[in-house]
């Protein structure tokens, strides 16, 4: 019934909120049980074509989220299987836009794993699937995903061009524009975050710091894990600019947050910063930082 589908949507919002605030490890097992015990019997139920499409769309959303939470705890093979299943469900729902979003999610995983070429290809397939009819926020999201892939590859011109397209697209957004529920997170704060990550990867540290600071100013507190990632990007930029004290202070704040989350990605962001600290390991701020975080991940 319509009520069943509304319940699936509400459950998706609940698990998304938990994931954003506390990491994928907190909600993942409960979400997987929900898929098994509540969603699967619905898919085997009786429904008309229109209800079926709405049901498959809601199922695609929850299945992508199961993949996303698996990705966050570094269960990468499992995450990919969920993403492929989410693509199939989006196809069954006739929802090309959501299918493009799943491809972008897969592109994000490829960026995290350092597979820049694959990330670019997935983002471009998503763009082709959507065409030019996508709302501005969705277009911006698709171009930003491509930019991140180019950033990992160190392709300055291609990365910059994709970021410019992403910025122009979001500038075209108007109040009252219809935006799919899954793209509402992609706002000025998120775009600034994408810029910060790209400039960090390209070792353009002054620009990375400016965009990361802007993202942190704009980003709502509920997106705790995203704020943590951005804080580490800012710390890395400060380190690149030779501002060791500030870099270590920012990273210590991020490490304390990571210790309270169940997110392998959050811990790995902090570890990546610590690897960059190695050349400065005997400096006073670095020793202070290590003392502060010594027990966080013990």
The pLDDT tens digits of the residues spanning 111-142 come to 999 999 999 999 999 999 888 788 999 999 99
Can you tell me the distance from the alpha carbon of 76 to that of 106, in angstroms, rounded to the nearest whole number? 10
Question: Which residue's structure tokens are 């938990």?
Answer: 18
pLDDT band at 152 (very low <50, low <70, confident <90, very high): very high
pLDDT band at 1 (very low <50, low <70, confident <90, very high): confident
Can you tell me the distance from the alpha carbon of 16 to that of 19, in angstroms, rounded to the nearest whole number? 5
What does the pLDDT average to over 212-237?
97
**pLDDT number for residue 298:** 59
**pLDDT number for residue 132:** 79
**What are the CA-CA distances from residue 4 to residues 29, 86, 93, 182, 276 (Å)?**
21, 19, 16, 19, 49
Eight-class DSSP state of 279 = G
148 pLDDT more than 80? yes
Span 153-203, pLDDT tens digits:
999 999 999 999 999 999 988 877 888 999 999 999 999 999 999 999 999
Given a contact cutoff of 8 angstroms between Cβ atoms, the answer to whether 127 and 135 are in contact is: no
Question: Which residue's structure tokens are 């499409």?
Answer: 53
Question: Which residue's structure tokens are 């892939």?
Answer: 149
Q: Which helix (H) or strand (E) holds 217?
A: helix 205-218
Here the contacts of 234-237 (C-beta below 8 Å, separation 24 or greater) are 234/196, 234/208, 234/209, 235/273, 236/200, 236/205, 236/208, 236/272, 236/273, 236/276, 237/196, 237/199, 237/200, 237/205, 237/206, 237/208, 237/209, 237/212
pLDDT band at 297 (very low <50, low <70, confident <90, very high): low
**pLDDT number for residue 175:** 79
Span 4-48, pLDDT tens digits:
999 999 999 999 999 999 999 988 999 999 999 999 999 998 899
**pLDDT number for residue 122:** 98
The token pair at 8 is 């699936």
Span 43-70, pLDDT tens digits:
998 899 999 999 999 999 999 999 999 9
| Distance, C-alpha 143 to centroid of its chain | 14
Can you tell me the distance from the alpha carbon of 143 to that of 195, in angstroms, rounded to the nearest whole number? 11
Residues 6 or more apart in contact with residue 23 via CB below 8 angstroms: 72, 73, 225, 261, 262, 263, 266
């Amino acid at each position: 019934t319509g009520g069943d589908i509304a319940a699936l949507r509400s459950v998706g919002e609940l698990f998304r909120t938990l994931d954003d605030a506390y990491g994928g490890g907190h909600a993942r097992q409960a979400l997987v049980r929900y898929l098994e015990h509540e969603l699967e019997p619905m898919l085997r139920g009786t429904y008309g074509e229109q209800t079926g499409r709405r049901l498959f769309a809601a199922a695609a959303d929850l299945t992508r989220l199961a993949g996303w939470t698996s990705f966050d705890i570094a269960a990468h093979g499992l995450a990919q299987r969920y993403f492929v299943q989410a693509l199939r469900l989006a196809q069954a729902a006739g929802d090309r836009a959501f299918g493009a979003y799943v491809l972008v999610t897969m592109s994000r995983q490829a960026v995290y794993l350092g597979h820049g070429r694959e990330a670019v290809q997935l983002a471009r397939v998503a763009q082709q699937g959507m065409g030019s009819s996508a709302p501005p926020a969705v277009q911006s999201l698709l171009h930003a995903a491509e930019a991140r892939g180019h950033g990992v590859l160190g392709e300055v011109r291609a990365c910059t061009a994709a970021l410019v397209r992403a910025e122009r697209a979001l500038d075209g957004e108007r109040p009252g524009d219809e935006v799919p529920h899954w793209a509402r997170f992609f706002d000025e704060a998120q775009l600034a975050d994408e810029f910060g990550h790209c400039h960090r990867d390209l070792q353009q540290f002054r620009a990375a710091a400016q965009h990361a600071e802007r993202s942190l100013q704009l980003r709502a507190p509920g997106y705790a894990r995203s704020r943590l990632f951005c804080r580490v990007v800012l710390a890395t930029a400060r380190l690149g600019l030779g501002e060791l004290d500030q870099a270590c202070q920012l990273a210590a704040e991020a490490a304390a947050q990571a210790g309270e989350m169940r997110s392998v990605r959050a811990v790995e962001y902090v570890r990546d910063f610590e690897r960059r600290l190695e050349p400065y390991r005997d400096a006073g701020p670095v020793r202070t930082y290590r003392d502060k975080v010594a027990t966080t991940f013990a």
